[in-house]
Chains A and B, each alone.
Chain A
Amino acid sequence: MNKQIKILLAVFLVCLFGILANLSWIQIFGAESLQGNAYNKRRMVEEYAVRRGDILSSDGQVLARSIETDTQYRYQREYPLGALFADITGYDSWRYGRSGLEASYNDELLGKGPQLTVRTLGNMLLGSSKRGNTLVLTVDSRLQRAAAEALDGNKGAVVALDPKTGAVLAMVTSPTYDPNVAVPLPGRDTQTAWDALNADPDRPLFDRPTNGLYPPGSSFKVVVAAAALDLGVSTPRSEFQCDGALPVEGYTIYDYGRRSHGELTFSKALVVSCNITFAQVGLRLGPRSFVQYAERFGFDKPVPFDLPTAASTVQDPDTMDDVALASASFGQGRDLATPLQMALVAAAVANGGSIMKPYLVNELQDYNGKIIEQTSPERLAKVMDEGTAETLAGMMVDAVDDGTGQAAQISGIAVAGKTGTAEVEGAEPHSWFICFAPERDPDIALAVVVENGGEGGRTAAPIARDILETALGIE
């Protein structure tokens, strides 16, 4: 009988050591994937036990802060300014996840980033409740509010940049939403409101400035003009003939409203936004130079930014025939651009031909206000010569002074701008205006788009003027 008993002992021990082996496997090698599992509440509870850092505007307004609750998710978000900064801060919600800066700067806000200071380390060791870092943005709440008010509920977007640094001064989408709706607090069930936001056909949760892709219309002429001037394909004084229609490969291209501009210079063509002239310039440039310059401005890849961006696109030069090239040259081809991209186009002209990398977060501070990290401006691309930029700026000032952009005039200040009226099938055209001011030593570059807003000079340009006035301190 003892023999069998010894066999049993062996079997029992094998079973128990099997558990030990399995346990080691789970707790050593499986730990990481288990901790990262989406159904593991632990990580969430731990993250919400951290007092997340605030998000502040450049003028010190609190855009997002953490409040203590007695739920299992201890600290939850509050957005004191409601919908005004929704497209920038996004939301942080245990139920619906994260978006905006709350998502892209999650580690920093939780204090998990590589910027672990001696003090936070000390706090961790002492076991006091962890606190995250504060984000100080480049956006000024007054300009943001002015931009939102100027847009006045129209569907569309505004992006304002400091052309010299790339700092975003305002970024508005409309319609938008109140991010507080994403945070269900005890006694505040927001599910219905949240469902309504998601079901809304106007897509209030969609960030138009960074992800809305629109045909740029005539505002794209700035890109074509930059290429033509920079390559010497034409000068401001080059003569063109506009008969209101241009036959290209058996297809006729018409000017907006089938208007005929007669004999005119290249400079004048930008001022009156003559499609026929730009079609001819585009054809002289050829598809390769056309795409090369568009890509220098940032087309065909997502703009590197603090938030996810959609790539603005131009057509592949190999598939571009003359008809496509001619219509793309006045922004009615297959090219699509985000408002952020078009703001960068304006900023490039404003900044002597260099595009600065756009950014939203200026400073990272620990909870005592000590600066951990400060963003230093970074050049993204050199698009054109300084001389080209200066010439083009002058042409854009003329467009505001004497041309399609007159609604953006501000007395005493030289505003450089270009309108865009992007025709869309079966609806009113999208209304564009890109601009910067003042012409010498500019403080702000701006892109405004109003979906189905009609002519750029009529809808978008006055909105731009209101924003410029606030930015430049003019009442």
Chain B
Amino acid sequence: MMVGFVSVQLARTGTVDYLSLAYPAAAAIVFLALHVVMRIFVPRADGLLLPLAAGLTFMGLVMIERLEASLALEQLLWITVAAAAFVLVIAFLRRYEVLAQYKYTLGVLALLLLASTMVLGQEVNGARLWLKLGTMSFQPAELAKVLLVIFLAAFFAEKHEVLSISTHRFLGIPVPELKYFVPLLAMWGVSVLMMIFQKDLGSSLLFFGIFICMVFAATARKTYVLVGMALFVLGAFLCYLSFAHVRMRVESWLTPFNPATVEGSSYQISQSLFALGSGGISGSGLGLGYPKFIPSVTTDFIFSAVGEELGLLGAAALVFMFALLVARGIKVALLHRDDFGKLLAVGLVSIIALQSFIIMGGVTRLIPLTGITLPFVSYGGSSLLANFILLGLLVVLSHRGATTNVQSIRQGARP
């Protein structure tokens, strides 16, 4: 990280200002402190989760400082706030089971947060995601996704057996009773509403994806997955037909360099591709490319900036860090013994996996582009806060999973 800061400065002015090295130093101290806190409160927690998150966060901080130096201090402050939230989570939520008792409260809270933007939200870049609190703006969807995962984990932990029972057969496939499709339909409704009222395709896709992952983990019912996907395709198709902005997204995905749109609606994606193309394998070097041609480069498109300046090598490193983080998170779920914990871990991991896939796939034109932040890396307070709370929960789950396993061994049971 230090090297990153120094090379950005060299590229910018040719000299090094030692004072500004305070940023990386401060960020390093924050993570060192988190490590110590973890050793105290959750000593058996997975030792790779925090370093991976730190790697992603540092990469983000370096890129943000390079792209928009004035935002770096803000990002650093948010890292500190998010770190504090992380500490609170591991300090007070070590008995995460209490969350299951408040599942409906949390679920309703999540819905309220989502609904709040539909009613009170501010429209930014065509999507209504922001809530203004005084001078600060806040993206409720970021926090809502964590709350929703807690609710769904608790709900499925209680109901997954019922949901798995098939009493009917349809075309020879065992199908659960119709009423058990209600949660699925409800979730679909929420997603579609988000798509319609907030014009937020990214979050809508993310929420529904998380839900499908958790249903599948809880019930092993392919029917839910298939019906869910069919519903999503249907919903997406209806939106494609009825909303111009959705059609625009699909068109710029298919033909980013269409002369009619390349300076307009497909400007972002084409600029992102140009950035990646000019980066090549080794990149232009920090501070030596032109990532600022890409709109919202500090948030949604930060991955393209990494691809331009650090090249395929840097971008692949980011992808690997996400893959490792996901793999470690899944390991937490696998080793956990109670259903709520397992499902909670699966849900949290799904957030990271799907969110990083949706945005990285979007900016590289693998899938249609939908605006959403890259976890830990993108600039943004709400995103950092939510992701550190998520990380805190995963850390707690890994600690508890390891602890119960140790107790089981002591009690003579096989882990």
Instruction: Give me the interface of A with B, judged by CB distance under 8 Å.
Output: 1-9, 12-13, 15-20, 22-24, 26-28, 30-35, 37, 39-42, 45
Q: Give the shortest distance, in Å, between B195 (CB) and chain A (any CB).
A: 21
Q: Give A34 to B275 CA distance when docked, in angstroms.
A: 9
CB of A15 within 8 A of CB of B274, answer no
Partner of A6, one of B293, B334, B365: B334
CB of A34 within 8 A of CB of B277, answer yes
CB of B334 within 8 A of CB of A5, answer yes
Partner of A45, one of B276, B290, B327, B349: B290
Q: Mark B359-370, 1 if CB is under 8 A from A, else 0.
A: 011001110000
Interfacial chain B residues near A31, Cβ < 8 Å: 277-280
Q: Give the shortest distance, in Å, between B406 (CB) and chain A (any CB).
A: 19
Cβ contacts A to B, 26 pairs, < 8 Å: A4-B217, A4-B220, A8-B216, A8-B350, A9-B330, A12-B349, A16-B322, A18-B361, A18-B366, A20-B319, A23-B307, A26-B364, A26-B365, A27-B277, A27-B280, A32-B277, A33-B277, A34-B277, A37-B277, A39-B257, A39-B263, A39-B274, A40-B277, A41-B274, A42-B274, A42-B293
Partner of B278, one of A4, A9, A28, A35: A35
Interface pick from B82-90, B180-188, B237-245, B308-316: B308-316
CB of A1 within 8 A of CB of B262, answer no
Interfacial chain A residues near B106, Cβ < 8 Å: none
Q: Give A4 to B330 CA distance when docked, in angstroms.
A: 11
CB of B356 within 8 A of CB of A16, answer yes
Q: How large is the interface on B (under 10, 10 to 19, 20 to 34, 35 or more residues)?
A: 35 or more
Q: A5-B346, A8-B350, A19-B360 are in contact. Are A37 and B220 (CB under 8 A)?
A: no
Interfacial chain A residues near B281, Cβ < 8 Å: 27-28
Q: Give the shortest distance, in Å, between B205 (CB) and chain A (any CB).
A: 13
Q: Give A5 to B327 CA distance when docked, in angstroms.
A: 11
CB of B216 within 8 A of CB of A15, answer no
Q: A23-B319, A37-B274 are in contact. Are A13 and B290 (CB under 8 A)?
A: no
Residue of B nearest to A32 (CB): B277
B353 near A: Cβ within 8 Å? yes
Q: Give A4 to B213 CA distance when docked, in angstroms.
A: 9
Interfacial chain B residues near A3, Cβ < 8 Å: 220
Q: Give A353 to B327 CA distance when docked, in angstroms.
A: 82
Partner of B353, one of A2, A15, A18: A15
Q: A19-B364, A22-B366 are in contact. Are A30 and B330 (CB under 8 A)?
A: no
Residue of A nearest to B292 (CB): A72
B209-230: which residues lie under 8 A (CB-CB) from chain A?
213, 216-218, 220
Q: A34-B277, A39-B257 are in contact. Are A23 and B339 (CB under 8 A)?
A: no
New contact pairs (4) apart from A8-B213, A24-B312, CB-CB < 8 Å: A5-B217, A16-B357, A23-B316, A39-B263
B25 near A: Cβ within 8 Å? no
Q: Give the shortest distance, in Å, between A370 (CB) and chain B (any CB).
A: 27
Residue of B nearest to A15 (CB): B357
Q: Give A41 to B270 CA distance when docked, in angstroms.
A: 11
Q: A15-B353, A18-B361 are in contact. Are A1 and B217 (CB under 8 A)?
A: yes
Q: Mark B276-299, 1 if CB is under 8 A from A, else 0.
A: 111111000000011001000000
Q: A34-B274, A41-B293 are in contact. Are A9 and B319 (CB under 8 A)?
A: no
Q: Which of A6, A23, A37 has the most CB of B within 10 A?
A: A23
Q: Give A41 to B322 CA distance when docked, in angstroms.
A: 31
CB of B218 within 8 A of CB of A1, answer yes
Residue of A nearest to B277 (CB): A34
Q: Give A23 to B308 CA distance when docked, in angstroms.
A: 11
Interfacial chain B residues near A41, Cβ < 8 Å: 274, 290, 293
Q: Give A2 to B336 CA distance when docked, in angstroms.
A: 10
Q: Give A7 to B222 CA distance when docked, in angstroms.
A: 12
Across the A-B interface, how many residue pairs have beta carbons closer than 8 Å? 134
Q: Give the shortest distance, in Å, between A7 (CB) and chain B (any CB).
A: 8
Interfacial chain B residues near A28, Cβ < 8 Å: 280-281, 312
CB of B326 within 8 A of CB of A9, answer yes
Q: Give the shortest distance, in Å, between B291 (CB) and chain A (any CB).
A: 10
Q: Give A17 to B259 CA distance when docked, in angstroms.
A: 31
Residue of B nearest to A41 (CB): B293
Q: A4-B216, A6-B334, A19-B319 are in contact. Are A42 and B278 (CB under 8 A)?
A: yes
B61 near A: Cβ within 8 Å? no
Q: Mark B340-384, 1 if CB is under 8 A from A, else 0.
A: 001100100110011011001100111000000000000000000
B32 near A: Cβ within 8 Å? no
Q: Give A53 to B312 CA distance when docked, in angstroms.
A: 34
Q: Give A60 to B365 CA distance when docked, in angstroms.
A: 53
Interfacial chain B residues near A5, Cβ < 8 Å: 217, 330, 333-334, 342, 346
Residue of B nearest to A46 (CB): B290
Interfacial chain B residues near A18, Cβ < 8 Å: 361, 366
B323 near A: Cβ within 8 Å? yes
B273 near A: Cβ within 8 Å? yes
Q: A8-B213, A12-B326, A27-B281 are in contact. Are A34 and B273 (CB under 8 A)?
A: yes
Residue of B nearest to A7 (CB): B216
Q: A4-B217, A24-B312 are in contact. Are A19 and B290 (CB under 8 A)?
A: no
Partner of B327, one of A13, A30, A42: A13
Residue of A nearest to B11 (CB): A127
Residue of A nearest to B263 (CB): A39
Q: A4-B220, A12-B326 are in contact. Are A19 and B263 (CB under 8 A)?
A: no
Q: Give the shortest distance, in Å, between A87 (CB) and chain B (any CB).
A: 31
CB of A23 within 8 A of CB of B330, answer no
Q: Give the shortest distance, in Å, between B153 (CB) and chain A (any CB).
A: 12
Q: Give A16 to B346 CA distance when docked, in angstroms.
A: 17
Q: A23-B312, A34-B276, A39-B270 are in contact. Are A9 and B293 (CB under 8 A)?
A: no
Q: Give the shortest distance, in Å, between A34 (CB) and chain B (any CB).
A: 3
CB of A9 within 8 A of CB of B327, answer yes
Interfacial chain A residues near B361, Cβ < 8 Å: 15, 18-19, 22
Interfacial chain A residues near B342, Cβ < 8 Å: 1, 5
Interfacial chain A residues near B353, Cβ < 8 Å: 12, 15-16
CB of B277 within 8 A of CB of A26, answer yes
CB of B277 within 8 A of CB of A16, answer no
Q: Give the shortest distance, in Å, between A5 (CB) and chain B (any CB).
A: 5
Q: Give A6 to B329 CA distance when docked, in angstroms.
A: 11
CB of A30 within 8 A of CB of B357, answer no
Residue of B nearest to A39 (CB): B262
Q: Give the shortest distance, in Å, between B64 (CB) and chain A (any CB).
A: 21
Q: Give the shortest distance, in Å, between A426 (CB) and chain B (any CB).
A: 41
Q: Mark B252-271, 1 if CB is under 8 A from A, else 0.
A: 00000101001100000010
Interfacial chain B residues near A13, Cβ < 8 Å: 323, 326-327
Partner of A16, one of B259, B280, B323: B323
Q: Give A18 to B356 CA distance when docked, in angstroms.
A: 12
Residue of B nearest to A9 (CB): B330
Q: Give the shortest distance, in Å, between B227 (CB) and chain A (any CB).
A: 17
Q: Give the shortest distance, in Å, between A126 (CB) and chain B (any CB).
A: 11
CB of B326 within 8 A of CB of A16, answer yes
CB of B316 within 8 A of CB of A17, answer no
CB of B357 within 8 A of CB of A42, answer no
Interfacial chain B residues near A22, Cβ < 8 Å: 361, 364-366
Interfacial chain B residues near A1, Cβ < 8 Å: 217-218, 220, 339, 342-343
Q: Give A246 to B364 CA distance when docked, in angstroms.
A: 76
Q: Give the shortest distance, in Å, between B325 (CB) and chain A (any CB).
A: 10
Q: Which of A4, A22, A41 has the most CB of B within 10 A?
A: A4
Q: Give A22 to B367 CA distance when docked, in angstroms.
A: 11
Q: Give A360 to B289 CA distance when docked, in angstroms.
A: 37
Interfacial chain A residues near B280, Cβ < 8 Å: 27-28, 31
Residue of A nearest to B278 (CB): A42
